[in-house]
Amino acid sequence: MARPGERHDAPAQAETLAEAAAAARACAACAAHLPLGPRPVFRLDPAARLLIVGQAPGTRVHETGIPWNDASGDRLRAWLGLDRDRFYDAARIAIVPMGFCYPGTDARGGDRPPRPECAPLWHARLLRHLPALGLTLLVGSYAQRHYLAARRRASLGETVRAWRDYLPAYLPLPHPSWRNTAWLKRNPWFDCDLVPDLRARVGALLD
């Protein structure tokens, strides 16, 4: 089923998940803009109950081909209450970032935004093969802008604070980067209210 904000011109339903995933892994649509070249990183299984939509791989994820295989992933797993084995069980958790490949760095040394071509090309085509999803985590502003569209609030902080408004389909989260440590300290409700509810929902889906 197509999701909000996505194109509806994906191939016919006759395409299998394996075929769609193989096409995505061979994608070179924005190769000219990728300093390390294309290396799409995502995980999919039709039995997955939880979908995590993040931003784009960093250099370590690009090198290893393992999504969230960095300090941000450690913090995300702590929020979810999951160890690495459960987190990387593709039969339970699908991981599809807004940009599948490492986008490079900007003038300030931070990662560039996900390439804008990626999600419109691939998300609907891949996610139509995940019929068992019970919850989608929208990690960061790019995922929230794409999936919540006009429903999102004026800022990421306001969108995350209104997390109950997007349930049961979506749950918005800040990106677990160290850059958001100050935001987390200024917003203790995140750890006190949202994180326990998040862990309970994830636990119920995956058990």
Query: What is the DSSP annotation of 104-144?
Result: -B-TTSSBPPPPTTHHHHHHHHHHTT-TT--EEEEESHHHH
**Tally of structural domains, the chain:** 1
| Calpha distance 143→149 (Å, rounded) | 9
Q: At what angle do helices 17-25 and 118-127 cross, to 10 degrees?
A: 160
CA gap 31, 93 in Å, rounded: 28
| Domain assignment present for 6 | no
Q: Kindly report the CATH number assigned to the domain that includes residue 84.
A: 3.40.470.10
> Has residue 200 been placed in a domain?
yes
Please check whether residue 27 lies inside any domain of the structure. no
Q: Is residue 51 part of a domain?
A: yes
Tens digits of pLDDT across the chain (207 residues): 344 444 444 455 589 999 999 999 999 999 999 999 999 999 999 999 999 999 999 999 999 999 999 999 999 999 999 999 999 999 999 999 999 999 998 888 778 999 999 999 999 999 999 999 999 999 999 999 999 999 999 999 999 999 999 999 999 999 999 989 999 999 999 999 999 999 999 999 999
Decide if 74 is inside a domain.
Answer: yes
- Which residue range is the domain that position 74 belongs to? 33-206
Identify the CA nearest to 99 among candidates 133, 130, 61, 49. 61
Does any domain span residue 26? no
User: Is there a contact between 144 and 159 (Cβ–Cβ < 8 Å)?
Assistant: yes
